[in-house]
Structure 1
Amino acid sequence: MRKEFREAIIEEVDDSRDLPEGSIDIRMEEEVGDVPHDRGDDDEDAILDDELLSGPDIDDFEETNSTIGQMVNRYDPMCDHNENMFSLGMRFESHEQFKNAVRKYAVINGFNIFWPRSQKKRMEAKCASGCGWRLYGSWVQAEKTFVIKRVGSLHSCNRSLTNRQATSTWLAREYMPKIRARLTYSATEMQTDARERFALILNKKKCYRAIWTALSHIRGPIGKQYDMLRSYLEELKRVSKNGTFMMEVNPATKVFERFYVGFDELKNGFLAGCRRVIGLDGCFLKTGLRGMLLCAIGRDGNNQMFPIAWAIVEVESEASWTWFLTRD
């Protein structure tokens, strides 16, 4: 009797899955004695992918995650935050890192999102335009990580030119390197850069707040800077032995009032090479503590301004001008 044999084609199953861009592939050691299971045909794989996209139940995440694959998908802050960066099981160091990653993703890709839940252990983001995009993550105490446990469908809405996630705090953090490199970075420059980089239209007041926040972080609190004035005064006296430097504090309230700076080298330079004309002027200080800046200015041989002395006072008045002009 003739026997018919069919040729068996054995396909080698690749346990690795393509990770989305913006994640780090970390292999986990397989347990000894594990035997790979048959995965079925292409239709079964498609069904499995659909189930992962819709997201498993939150309570069954640990059990489901163990069957997905032997990989841990960790968020990389240096990624380009493209539209497909988030995946089920992606790990974050904390809920703050998760929120910052979602916020940067939303701004770069031009999607408006909102946070139905924003807590330390549970966070959820949804599309503000009403499409099916959604992310849900929570803290896994056993791993000490924040994990994405549900991923919705891709965005189907149009790109937005305004974004509620581009807050002044986020802008301050994003533009901190540029502001640190040039402290005179302006709000107009920030508006132009955001329009070119993110196709984002920013309100000028928001840019001002972002720059002020960044400068406050770079310079530190103004109150602590005033605590260092006595050390600064002693350093000035050390550098210019014959200079005139003075600080006055209200004796009753112990609050700073005035500070005078007069380098001996500048006075000698004025006498040696400037016209015998002195200009006096004052201007407001636009800091959190306000005050006035009083200046004595001369003109050098190139008809340029030559500073002679200056002082910071509480207000511009006859008493403050008299105090300024009667210093040696």
Structure 2
Amino acid sequence: MKFNTKWDFKEAVREFTIQEGRRIRFRKNDNVRMRATCQVKGCPWVVYASRDHEDTCWQIKTFLNDHTCPREDKNRAANRNWVASKLVKKIRKYPNFKHCDVATYFKSRFDLTLNKNSISRALFDARNAVFGDEKEQYKMLRDYGLTLLKTNPGSTVEICCTPQPQSDPVFDKMYVCLSGCKSGFKAGCRPLIGLDGAFLKTQFGGQILSAVGQDANHHIYIIAWAIVGVENKENWKWFLELLHQDLGDYRQNGWCFISDMQKVFSNS
């Protein structure tokens, strides 16, 4: 068996030993040869590969696949990077993959037992690989807002930040009402607006405020939404004032509001 590079061979050995539930150690590891043995004293398992000078690839010369040691459900070779690499595909398919799901997956697929800290760190890396660094994404909000306004003329995008004397401004809240959502609600939805807030399960938390309607097919119709730090009277008042500017006076248009937060809206 041949490998393009030394690192391809090393990763293949690690993958194999993790699936086999054994601990190995590279006794020789230089530019021309690599030799791995089982860490358990007396176990004869060994694999040896060297570089082929003709085509510069790495070829296995010796492989004794005979373990006399028992299988283990914990393996140091299954480090943070390896676990995260296995989770990337899962996160893309199941964005809400949780800690318990990760533990179950690695136990059933690799017969590995991972501790909570390993799972948390690997999930963090995998989500960053799939969705990007959340902190860095906040730096792109201005560009995102300008793109929305450019591609949806007539939309409303409001971004508020808190100035910092010796550093960059800190994000406070953001309001979005797309032109198509605005005109579609006025043209074809029932005169009913539902208002609600929900927690954001992200690294920095916060809450999302939303205004929705109901179309002719009895489906929920998004009108506007906002990201805020906390759901309180001040943020709801800010949200409703912007919604009022976008949709017009609710008394003149005959719109009714529905919500389960009477105390919040009584003064808004």
**Distance in 1 between the 2:10 and 2:6 partners?**
11
**Which AA in structure 2 matches 1:273?**
G
TM-aligned CA deviation for residue 147 of structure 1:
10
Partner of 2:11: 100
Partner of 1:231: 143
**Which AA in structure 2 matches 1:268?**
S
**TM-score normalised over the length of structure 2:** 0.68
**Distance in 2 between the 1:160 and 1:291 partners?**
42
Spell out, residue by residue over 1:146-176, the C-alpha distance to the aligned partner (whole angstroms, 9 max, x if none).
9999989842112234434333431221232
Spell out, residue by residue over 1:162-202, the C-alpha distance to the aligned partner (whole angstroms, 9 max, x if none).
43433343122123234334534455554454344333445
1:213 aligns with 2:125: yes
**Distance in 1 between the 2:30 and 2:121 partners?**
26
Partner of 2:199: 284
1:157 aligns with 2:72: no
TM-aligned CA deviation for residue 318 of structure 1:
2.0
1:260 aligns with 2:181: no
Contact 2:38 / 2:46 at 8 angstroms: preserved in 1?
A: no
Partner of 1:69: none
Contact 1:294 / 1:310 at 8 angstroms: preserved in 2?
A: yes
Secondary structure of the residue aligned to 1:175 is helix
Query: How many residue pairs were aligned?
Result: 238
Secondary structure of the residue aligned to 1:211 is helix
Of stretches 201-210 and 234-243 in structure 1, the one that deviates more from structure 2 is: 201-210
Query: Which residues of structure 1 form unaligned runs of 5+?
Result: 1-22, 25-74, 77-91
**Which AA in structure 1 matches 2:173?**
R
Q: How does 1:93-242 map to 2 (within 5 A)?
A: 93-94=6-7, 100-113=11-24, 127=38, 129-132=40-43, 154-187=66-99, 189-202=101-114, 206-242=118-154
Spell out, residue by residue over 1:272-312, the C-alpha distance to the aligned partner (whole angstroms, 9 max, x if none).
33333322222222222222211112233343322111111
Spell out, residue by residue over 1:6-30, the C-alpha distance to the aligned partner (whole angstroms, 9 max, x if none).
xxxxxxxxxxxxxxxxx21xxxxxx
TM-aligned CA deviation for residue 261 of structure 1:
0.5
TM-aligned CA deviation for residue 250 of structure 1:
1.7
**Distance in 2 between the 1:281 and 1:295 partners?**
6
Partner of 2:226: 311
Contact 2:173 / 2:226 at 8 angstroms: preserved in 1?
A: yes
**Which AA in structure 2 matches 1:158?**
P
User: What is the identity percentage for the equivalent residue pairs of Structure 1 and Structure 2?
Assistant: 35
**Distance in 2 between the 1:315 and 1:119 partners?**
56
Q: From the two aligned structures, give the one with the greater helix fraction.
A: 2
Taking only aligned residues, the RMSD between alpha carbons, in angstroms, comes to 3.9
Contact 2:46 / 2:65 at 8 angstroms: preserved in 1?
A: no
1:272 aligns with 2:183: no
